[in-house]
Amino acid sequence: MTISEENRKVLEEEVKTLEGKIQDLKTQIAHLTFQVYPRHIVHNGSQVYIQYVPGKGRGVFANQEFKKGDLIETSPILVYSRLDNEVEPQIIRDVVFNYSTYTGSERNETALVLGLGSIFNSANPSNLRYEVDTENMFFRFFAVQDIPLHSELTINYSGGGSHISSTNTWFEQRNLKML
pLDDT for res 165: 54
pLDDT for res 166: 54
Based on its alpha-carbon atoms, the radius of gyration of the chain, rounded to whole angstroms, reads 24
pLDDT for res 127: 94
pLDDT for res 33: 47
Edge-to-edge strands, sheet with 152-155: 39-41, 48-53, 57-62, 152-155, 121-122
Band of the pLDDT at 154, cuts 50, 70, 90? very high
**Hey, is 15 helix, strand or coil?**
helix
- 75-134 per-position pLDDT tens digit: 898 877 765 556 665 656 655 656 556 566 666 777 788 888 888 988 888 999 999 888
Q: Where are the domains of the chain?
A: 1-36, 67-147+155-173
User: How many angstroms separate the CA atoms of 150 and 63, rounded?
Assistant: 6
pLDDT for res 2: 76
User: How many angstroms separate the CA atoms of 135 and 125, rounded?
Assistant: 28
Give whichever of 28-32, 98-102, 174-178 has the largest mean pLDDT: 98-102
Band of the pLDDT at 34, cuts 50, 70, 90? very low
User: How many angstroms separate the CA atoms of 30 and 50, rounded?
Assistant: 18
Strands (E), 54-166: 57-62, 71-81, 96-98, 109-113, 121-122, 128-133, 138-143, 152-155
- 38-56 per-position pLDDT tens digit: 555 554 567 888 888 887 7
Q: What percent of the chain has pLDDT over 70?
A: 61
The CATH class of the 67-147+155-173 domain is mainly beta
- Round the average pLDDT of the chain to a whole number and report it: 75
**Once rounded to an integer, what is the mean pLDDT over residues 136-157?**
91
pLDDT for res 140: 93
